[in-house]
Amino acid sequence: MDFYSPTKGKMTLDETFSEIISYIREQPQEEYKLIIGTDSHSHFDAEVIFVTAVIIHRVGKGGRYFYYREKHYFVQSLRQRIFYETSLSLDVAGRFTTLLSSEVHDHLNVEIHLDVGEAGDTKELIREVVGMVIGSGFDARIKPDSYGATKVADRYTK
């Protein structure tokens, strides 16, 4: 699983994790959130791009982000896409929390940002995907508070 950093380029999962830990160690007294969100975009040739963003947010003072990108060539319904986006976020969150548990940062608040909201076609899916996230032990955020998916990940789906 390769991640990309806007400043450092292609990075492995372990390198990405090291960057996150280094960022926290710069100012350990601050409050941090690890935010993970996935968005997707279908293209004209039935290709669907999924992007999962990983953001380390120094609350009130900025942050850094990384993203993972994958392509699929199968047609999906909106429901299938939203569930797959959620499962990608949960997979990445699980990988990072496993790494965090080996560090002293296992208390770090992890949020999953979902690309669903009260307005639009995804409103019927909110309960189900939020339930998936909470049932997996993470905090869930939906639109308009899910900027990890709707702003950061969305930027790299085109």
Q: Please enumerate in sequence order all residues whose Cβ is within 8 A of that of 17, keeping only pairs 6 or more positions apart, or say none.
A: 96, 99
Q: Average pLDDT of the chain? A: 93
Lowest mean per-residue pLDDT among 17-31, 46-60, 91-105, 120-134: 91-105
State pLDDT tens for residues 95-120: 999 898 876 666 788 999 999 999 98
Whether residue 75 is predicted with pLDDT greater than 90 in this model: the reply is no
Q: For residues 130 and 143, give the distance between their C-alpha atoms in angstroms, rounded to a whole number.
A: 12
* Structural contact between residues 35 and 9, judged by C-beta atoms closer than 8 angstroms: no
Q: What is the pLDDT of residues 30-57, one digit of tens each?
A: 999 999 999 999 887 778 999 999 999 9
Domain locations in the chain as residue ranges: 2-155
> Which pLDDT does position 84 carry in this prediction?
95
Q: Is the pLDDT of residue 121 over 80?
A: yes
pTM for the predicted model, two decimal places: 0.93
φ, ψ for residue 54 (rounded to 5)?
A: -120, 120
In single-letter form, the type of residue at position 27 comes to Q
| Structure-token match 């909201």, residue found | 117
* pLDDT score for 105: 62
Percent of the chain residues past pLDDT 90, beyond the cut: 82
